[in-house]
Structure formats: C-alpha cells, structure tokens
Structure 1
C-alpha cells in the first residue's frame, strides 16, 4: 500500500477526506484528488489551481478538484501507484520517476536527444509522443499529455567544463537507469535521491551536484548551496499529466470531455508559465552570487560524444524503432 493510500485512511487525511465526502453529498457529484510534487509558487501549481476553477465552471459545479502540492501526498512513484489503485485521480510525474512501470519512456531522458526546445515540443505533441502516452494504459493509467520544464543544466561547487571535472564527482540523479548511465559515461558517480531531499544533500555534501532546468533550480533554491551553474542543455526534463484510468472511464462522457480538455489546457499553461520565468529565474540565480558558466561548442560536443553510448544501452533493451523515429522527427 502506498503512502497516499495509507495516509488518506488515517489522521489529518481522514478529516480531509471526510470533509470532501460531506461536501460532495451536499453539492458536487464528483470529488477529484490531484497530487503533485511542485511548490505552491510554481507554474505547475498555478496551472492546477486554474484547472480547478475551469473544471468547476465547465461542469456546472458537478466536479470539484482538490489539489495537494509539494509532495504532501507522497512521492511520484507512490502517487502513480495510487492512480493504479484509484485512491488518487490525477498526478504529474517526470518520465524518469515512473521508468519502473513504463521503461520505454526512458527514451525521453536520453542525453542530447533534441537539438532545440521547439523540436522537443514537436516530438512530444506528435505521433511519437501520443504513442508513448498510450503505453500507460497497460498500467491502468491514462496519459493525458506531456508537461515540460525545459532542458537541464548542472550545478556544482566548481565549473563542469570537461570530462576530468566529473572524476569522483557525486551527481544526484533521479532513480532512472538511463540517467545514471549518462553520468557514469561522463565519469561521475550517480546518486539517486528523491527530489525533495536534494537541497539538504547538497548542503551536507552527500552529493556534489545535481541536474535540473533553470526554473526548478530556482524554485528549489539549489543555487543557495552551489557556487556554479553550468548551462549544458544536455537533456530534457519533462513528465506526464496522468489520470486514474478506472476513474476516468467511470465518468459520464460529457465529464470525460471536460477533464481531457482541462488536462491539455493545464499542460499548455504550465509550459507557457515556465517559459515566461526562465530569464527572470536565471537573473535571480546570478544575482545571488552563483557563477553562470556557458560551455563552448567544443566542450558541449565532448559531453555529447561521451554520452552517445547511453543511446545504445537504450536500444539494446528496447530496440531502435522508437529512437530512430525521434531522430527523424527531431531533425
């Protein structure tokens, strides 16, 4: 049983759920629980709150969504399991965090896969992305759309310009075999840690650095405990907006349409929100005293060449059809 499914039966969760049920009996036909791991001032949470209002209006008050942020209801893996059980209705997760359930999704975590942000969006919203979303149905989960945090950079207490800089370096990663292999290819030691544990691990020296897009480095204040931010744009960080399939299928057809449209709107709003704040967030990080490091084309190419074998690791396990389709679409 997951943390979410345990916690909604005890303590504060029992009180919360009781209030939700009472409210449902009085007014709403459907109470919907939405859990995510982002901070309350993030574009993700802002988009979730707008989704609450829009669904309530579109459904004529028949649907009420309750949002829990900052991992209040458990980790990404626990929330995914709760979707499968039906004790949670909506969640988001990075592709890497649910690789144990749908390993093929790791293709989107491969280093240097997309030449630009626009090509990344084109692939995720195109036939390849839709096909990958469909793989979730075997897990009793509906993949609605991909949210995007952008291309990742690295922080450390030194610049990360050459392969020599990674020797003996403890890099925090998500629990993703593909991402861990990427850092082994660079010469580092990958250390998988939950996202909410990273700040303390950096502060205490349990790990030497981490990777994330600019907005998450800013939101989690990793720059407070790291002296350098190296702009690598080496891989995508994105994830999925997902619904419990049993719950979604049990909705009336009109509410299914409302929920699907609201999910697509959520993702578009999240993407726009992130794009709007990246420049501001980077300025805040620089103003804090963190040194911003920009790689030369030659330095970045050395990283790309060193990590190309990770693509081969993926194809050895899952074949090359999907990867070749992404190569073609991303040209």
Structure 2
C-alpha cells in the first residue's frame, strides 16, 4: 500500500473515530430544563443562572431556564416537574405547602429570626433543613437540592398599620397556603388566597387591601405603586427551595449527581452574597420612584402584640401535620437555639 493510500485510510479511520466520539458526546450531553417563580434579575433568577453557569462550565450539558409566566404559575411548574417535563424547579414552601404540609413551618410568624447572619447560619447548619426536609420532599418524588432565604417579609397595606386591631376587615393576599391564611387571621386580617398574576390588579381595584413579600419583589413587581404603605413587622423571612425530579436525578451518573450538587452549593454561596444589602437597595429604589410610599418599622412593643398571636398558628401547624410536624417543629427550634447561642 502506498503512503498516500495509507494516509487516506488513516484519515478515514480518524474521521470515523472523531464522528463516533462526537456522537457519543452528543448522547452524553443533555439539555436540562429549569423553571422558577420570579422575574429577570430577581433572587431565584440569579440563583438559577449561577447554577446554569456552573453546570455549563464544568460539563457538556446545557440548561434552559424558564422565568415566571413562561410555563405558567407556581402550581403549573411543579406539576411539570413531577411529570418529568422539567428537570429542575424552584418553588417556595408557600406553594409547596399543599403538597408537603410540613413545608408550611416557614410561615409560623416570629419563628425565624430576621438577623441575616443568624438566618444564613441556620440554613447552613440546621438538621431540619439539611436532613429532615430532603426526606419529606423525597416522598413526593422530588430531590431537594437546596433551601435558601431570599429576604425579610414586608407587608404592604392601603394605610399604615401598627397593631392587629388595625388589620381588622382588611383583605390581605396570601399564597395558596392554609397556614399563611391562619397567620393573617391571627393578625386580625381577612386572608385572601390569590395567584400571583392577579395580585397587582386586585390591589389596584381595592379587591384586596394588602399583601406580603420580600422588599426586592415589592420593588420589581411594582406593588408599591398600588399598595404604598410598607410595614416591617419582623415576623419572618421568605424561604425558597430548589429541587429536581427524583426519577431524573436518580438516573444520573454519579459524576452528574456530584455536578448537580456542586452547582447547587455554588449557587447558594453566590446568592448569599447577592442578597446582602439587597433589601436596602430595593427600598431606596422604591422611595426614589414614589413620593407616596410610607415606611413603618414596628417597635418592640408593637411587635409583641403580633408575636403574642403566634402560638395559635403553631397549634394549627401541629393540627395540620400531626406528630411528624410536631417533631419537625421541635427540631427547628433546637436548631435555631444552637445558631443563636453562638
């Protein structure tokens, strides 16, 4: 065989080998799908894109992200994840509570501290967060990858409120979450469950007189335009959870499982940096955009009037979740004691 023919033959083999390798890589690489509940630039969106960046920089996989409304509302994206249409979903316990009643624990008022350093330490070290909750999510076909805080809850109302009595006869929008309804009943208001897409219009037409959300969401959603009185009640932080369809996750190679876990850990560390100071910046934007906004920060005595009503919400939580919920609540409190004493 001449050298030319040998070269052509080797070149042909090399081309076939390269084509085979490329095909194999194409088979191994996947385009994963991830949906969350917020708008461009909001906390869940930042978390999702940090997760995406880690996945794509450390593998051949790609990640398609869907923001609020692109695939429906929160209930829709959860159904799509459970059905395996989506691989990953970010959903707050406010909506997951109907699926996993114990997740409503985050809506017991004055259970969580509002100091950021304590909150972050709790999410890092809590046995309830890192051991108990993954088991609860697993029972519903979900692999819990990361729980993380987004910001302190702030209530917006049609007029300043400083006591439970001043909440009387006010319809306050709540997520479709029975325990959150119990919280606002305890606070003296009339809880009104509404999907997010209806909130702005309902405030604008006075169908409801208030709602609660982290301050960055109040700013990005323009809620202050139709509900300009901001009340800092100190009753809790907004928490969210990023998870995967469990069948999908279990079907991954060990290498890809580690990739996903590492990406979730990376996104968590990045989001902690992102939310530091975010509330102050959002409030500055709100006040710069509107002269009608008022800010009321309850003092200790005013907070105590609301805090005194929290035990009835705890009782409702235990009634809803039974012995398992009571044990989770006890663990939650023990974890909080541990981080607060340090």
**Is TM (by shorter chain) over 0.5?**
yes
Report deviation, 1:167.
0.8
How far apart, CA to CA, are the structure 1 residues paired with 2:236 and 2:171? Answer: 18
Is 1:152–1:213's contact at 8 Å kept on the other side of the alignment? yes
2:333 aligned partner: 327
How far apart, CA to CA, are the structure 2 residues paired with 1:258 and 1:236? Answer: 29
Q: Per-residue displacement from partner, 1:229-267 (whole Å, max 9, x unpaired)?
A: 011121221110011111111111111111111112223
Is 2:50–2:266's contact at 8 Å kept on the other side of the alignment? no
SS of the residue aligned with 2:275? helix
Is 1:215–1:274's contact at 8 Å kept on the other side of the alignment? no
- Describe how 1:167-316 pairs up with structure 2 within 5 A: 167-287=168-288, 288-289=290-291, 290-316=293-319
Gaps of 5+ in 2: 1-22, 338-342
Q: Does 1:122 align with 2:125?
A: no
SS of the residue aligned with 2:90? strand
Q: Which deviates the most, 45-54 or 65-74?
A: 45-54
Q: 1:102 to 1:24 in 2, by over 3 A?
A: farther
Q: Which deviates the most, 41-50 or 138-147?
A: 41-50
SS of the residue aligned with 1:242? strand
Q: 1:111 to 1:250 in 2, by over 3 A?
A: same
Is 1:144–1:243's contact at 8 Å kept on the other side of the alignment? yes
SS of the residue aligned with 1:152? strand
How far apart, CA to CA, are the structure 1 residues paired with 2:28 and 2:201? Answer: 41
Is 1:28–1:64's contact at 8 Å kept on the other side of the alignment? no
Report deviation, 1:214.
1.1
Q: Per-residue displacement from partner, 1:88-117 (whole Å, max 9, x unpaired)?
A: 101101112011111111111111102333
1:77 aligned partner: 75
Is 1:168–1:189's contact at 8 Å kept on the other side of the alignment? yes
Gaps of 5+ in 1: 1-22
How far apart, CA to CA, are the structure 2 residues paired with 1:285 and 1:82? Answer: 35
Q: Which deviates the most, 69-78 or 95-104?
A: 69-78
Is 2:158–2:228's contact at 8 Å kept on the other side of the alignment? yes
1:109 aligned partner: 107
- Describe how 1:62-101 pairs up with structure 2 within 5 A: 63-101=61-99
2:52 aligned partner: 52
TM-score normalised over the length of structure 1: 0.87
Is 1:123–1:326's contact at 8 Å kept on the other side of the alignment? no
Calculate the aligned-residue CA RMSD, in Å.
1.9
Is 2:37–2:44's contact at 8 Å kept on the other side of the alignment? no
Is 1:286–1:292's contact at 8 Å kept on the other side of the alignment? no
Q: Per-residue displacement from partner, 1:139-180 (whole Å, max 9, x unpaired)?
A: 111001112112211101211101221110000000111100
How far apart, CA to CA, are the structure 2 residues paired with 1:188 and 1:300? Answer: 16
Whichever of the two has the greater Rg, that structure is: 2
Is 1:24–1:30's contact at 8 Å kept on the other side of the alignment? no
How many correspondences in the alignment? 307
Q: Which deviates the most, 34-43 or 174-183?
A: 34-43
Q: 1:327 to 1:25 in 2, by over 3 A?
A: closer
